[in-house]
């Protein structure tokens, strides 16, 4: 089974984690000022690269904390050490 590097617990099996999708997608500071297209982009559109991808993981069956990691979606390999949740 693939090991996911939790920054607090170390490498643990993938089944302990919940996937959170793309990282660094901030909630709009002033949602009311957004156009429909900007709101659609925030709600429905995420990057989908073949290659390195910054994403969020929750160590659901472990320390219950969120963290960010960079993983290569072509190889499924984690390519950078995981960082703390923002």
Partner 1 sequence: MNVDHPDFLWRNPDPRPSYDAVIIGGGGHGLATAHYLAKNHGITRVAVLEKGWLAGGNMARNTTIIRSNYLWDESAAIYEHALKLWEGLEEDLGYPLLFSQRGVLNLAHSLQDVRDSRRRVWANQLNGVDAEWLEPEQVAEVCPIVNISPDVRYPVLGATYQPRAGIAKHDYVAWGFARSADAHGIDLIQNCEVTGLEVRDGRMVGVRTTRGRIATGKVALAAAGHTSVLADMVGLRLPLQSHPLQALVSELLEPVHPTVVMSNAVHVYVSQAHKGELVMGAGIDSHNGYGQRGAFHIIERQMAAALELFPVFARAHLLRSWAGIVDVTPDASPIVGLTPIDGLYLNCGWGTGGFKATPAVGWCLAHTVAHDRPHPFNAPFTLERFTTGALVDEHGAAAVAH
Which residues would be at the binding site for partner 1 (CB under 8 A)? Answer: 1-2, 13-15, 18-19, 21, 36-37, 40-41, 43-46, 48-50, 53, 55, 71, 73-76
Q: How far apart are CA 77 and CA 74, in angstroms?
A: 8
Say if CB 28 and CB 43 are below 8 A apart: no
- How near is the Cβ of 36 to partner 1 at its closest, in Å? 5
Considering beta carbons, is residue 18 or 24 the nearer one to partner 1? 18
- How near is the Cβ of 32 to partner 1 at its closest, in Å? 17
CB within 8 Å of 22: residues ≥ 6 apart:
46, 47, 53, 54, 55, 56
């Amino acid at each position: 089974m693939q090991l996911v590097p939790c920054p607090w617990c170390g490498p643990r099996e993938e089944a302990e984690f919940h996937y959170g999708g793309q990282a660094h997608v901030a909630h709009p500071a002033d949602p009311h000022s957004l156009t429909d297209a900007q709101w659609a982009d925030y709600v429905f559109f995420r990057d989908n690269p073949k290659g390195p991808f910054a994403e969020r993981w929750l160590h659901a069956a472990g320390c219950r904390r969120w963290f960010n990691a960079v993983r290569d979606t072509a190889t499924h390999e984690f390519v950078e050490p995981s960082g703390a949740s923002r």
